[in-house]
Amino acid sequence: MNVLVINSGSSSIKYQLLDPDSADVVASGVVQRIGEPVAEGSPSIEHKSAGRTFEHDGAVPDHATGLKLVFDLFAESGHDLAEAGLRAVGHRVVHGGEIFYEPTLVTDEVIRAIAELSTLAPLHNPANVVGIESARELLPGVPQVAVFDTAFFHGLPAAAKTYAIDAKVAAEYGVRRYGFHGTSHEYVSGQVADFLGRDRTELNQIVLHLGNGASASAVRGGKAVDTTMGLTPLEGLVMGTRSGDLDPGIIFHLIREAGMGVDEVDNLLNRESGIKGVSGVNDFRELGRLIGTGDAAAKLAFDVYIHRLRRYIGAYLVELGRVDAITFTAGVGENDAAVRAAALAGLERYGIRVDEARNTAKDRSARYISPKGAEVAVLVVPTNEELAIARAAVRLVG
Ligand code: ADP
């Protein structure tokens, strides 16, 4: 019996119907540009099932309509979800705040609490709530489970999760480091232990989740002890369109000198910064192509990205003291050999080496990119947040 996993974002819904035991994906798809006009030549919904693609071209005004259309496409492709006997629906929820740090069965009260946490994740939690409510309406009787992106970092040591600001202000407004991408960091660090044939409690790991959003974590004995994202997913590494760390004084400067409003600065730092801000493009394939043509801004964006990444790798080496494995995952981490090579260049004296042939091999499975016998295992491990969410949901509902 299958699980439907729903990742409802601010203007998109990604979903998968999968078997949590075998990891087989029965169907998957994405709803894009919710609330936006139709884009010529690009369908608003793409649904893949049994090697076929089903499309919807009309505009999708809101999330509830999007999900309803997805259910129609499921039926059209031969999987009527209402009849399929789903074991559960698993929802990715971005912010669990201080309240949620385990997969949680959805009730009215849970939905209210997730909605209240929108103050901490104004773009994400409201969309998550709509996804949950719509799925409940369309699939009454199927247990709905919320899995939180912050959960894996709930137990961060106080020194790692505390911002050095007035303690009363911090407490009153929930200002602390929560961390995100937790489902991926937890899943990948578990896959690493399996791959190495070791128990996760024996391993010190650095996990580099480099996708459009990017974060690093330090994991000691299976528990996260540090991560780069903070109160929001804006802190830490340079990302596709997000700045990552910067001097908070920049914000005051822009408000005072450029006359920007809060929303403008928010938009600048979340959507117009990072690789895109420096180079004009946010996709690493395009960035690589531009670097190949001698584009100086693209090269600078790459260098800034790597500089920040190496700074955190260094920090986590020191924090962990001994590192057994460094793992690259997500879109950039799994596919971009140049990023991987640059991130770890010149660290031989720390036992960290990348083998060029292994690094550039066209292989999509979990694998070593460090040479045989290297002191630190350097790995590429595909992440699979949907599978992790489906398994968490099934563990909860039995
Ligand atoms: P998200 O954070 O949205 O889940 P992903 O983990 O799917 O994103 O990563 C998407 C990013 O991965 C793309 O924006 C692109 O920069 C990068 N990417 C995907 N494929 C490749 C590739 N073959 N080479 C380099 N970068 C890639």
Residues known to be catalytic: 149
On whether both 22 and 137 belong to a single domain, the answer is yes
Residue 167 lies in a domain: no
Nearest residue CA, atom 21 of ligand 1?
335
71-116 pLDDT, tens per residue? 999 999 988 888 888 999 999 999 999 999 999 999 999 999 999 9
Nearest residue CA, atom 13 of ligand 1?
283
DSSP 77-100: TT--TTTTT-SEEEEEES--TTT-
Unique residue bearing structure tokens 């005051």: 252
Whole-angstrom distance, CA of residue 58 vs CA of residue 32 = 11
- Residue 158: exposure state from Cβ atoms within 10 A (0-12, 13-18, ≥19): exposed
188 lines ligand 1 (CB under 6 A): no
272 lines ligand 1 (CB under 6 A): no
Kindly state the greatest CA–CA separation across the chain: 59
On whether both 130 and 238 belong to a single domain, the answer is no
Contacts (Cβ under 8 Å, ≥6 apart) of 167: none
Residue 24 lies in a domain: yes
On whether both 246 and 101 belong to a single domain, the answer is no
12 lines ligand 1 (CB under 6 A): no
Strands (E), the chain: 3-8, 13-18, 25-31, 45-49, 52-56, 88-93, 104-105, 144-148, 204-210, 214-220, 223-227, 325-329, 367-368, 377-380
The three-point CA angle 61-62-64 to 5° equals 130
Give the residues across from 54 on adjacent strands: 47
- Please tell me the number of Cα atoms within 13 Å of 198 on its side-chain side: 15
Nearest residue CA, atom 3 of ligand 1?
212
Q: Which atom of ligand 1 is nearest to the CA of 383?
A: 6
What is the CATH number for 124? 3.30.420.40
pLDDT value for 191: 98
On whether both 353 and 232 belong to a single domain, the answer is yes
pLDDT along the chain (398 residues), means of 10: 93 95 96 89 93 93 93 91 90 96 97 95 91 94 97 98 98 96 98 98 98 97 98 96 97 97 96 97 96 98 98 98 98 98 98 98 95 97 97 95
Domain boundary among 90, 118, 148: 148
On whether both 275 and 375 belong to a single domain, the answer is yes
Q: Name the residue range of residue 351's domain.
A: 198-380
On whether both 91 and 205 belong to a single domain, the answer is no
Q: Which atom of ligand 1 is nearest to the CA of 284?
A: 16
pLDDT value for 148: 98
pLDDT value for 80: 87
- Strand, helix or coil for residue 324: coil
Residue 290 lies in a domain: yes
Residue 190 lies in a domain: no
Quote the ligand 1 centre to 182 CA distance (angstroms).
18
DSSP designation for 154: T
Residue 35 lies in a domain: yes
pLDDT value for 335: 97
Whole-angstrom distance, CA of residue 220 vs CA of residue 202 = 8
φ, ψ of residue 195 in degrees (nearest 5) = -60, -40
307 lines ligand 1 (CB under 6 A): no
Residue 292 lies in a domain: yes
Quote the ligand 1 centre to 48 CA distance (angstroms).
20
On whether both 121 and 264 belong to a single domain, the answer is no
The total number of structural domains in the chain stands at 2
290-319 pLDDT, tens per residue? 999 999 999 999 999 999 999 999 999 999
Nearest residue CA, atom 12 of ligand 1?
331
Q: Which atom of ligand 1 is nearest to the CA of 287?
A: 16
Quote the ligand 1 centre to 167 CA distance (angstroms).
38
Q: In what order do the strands lie in the sheet with 3-8?
A: 52-56, 45-49, 25-31, 13-18, 3-8, 88-93, 144-148, 104-105
Quote the ligand 1 centre to 211 CA distance (angstroms).
5
On whether both 265 and 202 belong to a single domain, the answer is yes
Residue 390 lies in a domain: no
Quote the ligand 1 centre to 363 CA distance (angstroms).
16
On whether both 368 and 283 belong to a single domain, the answer is yes
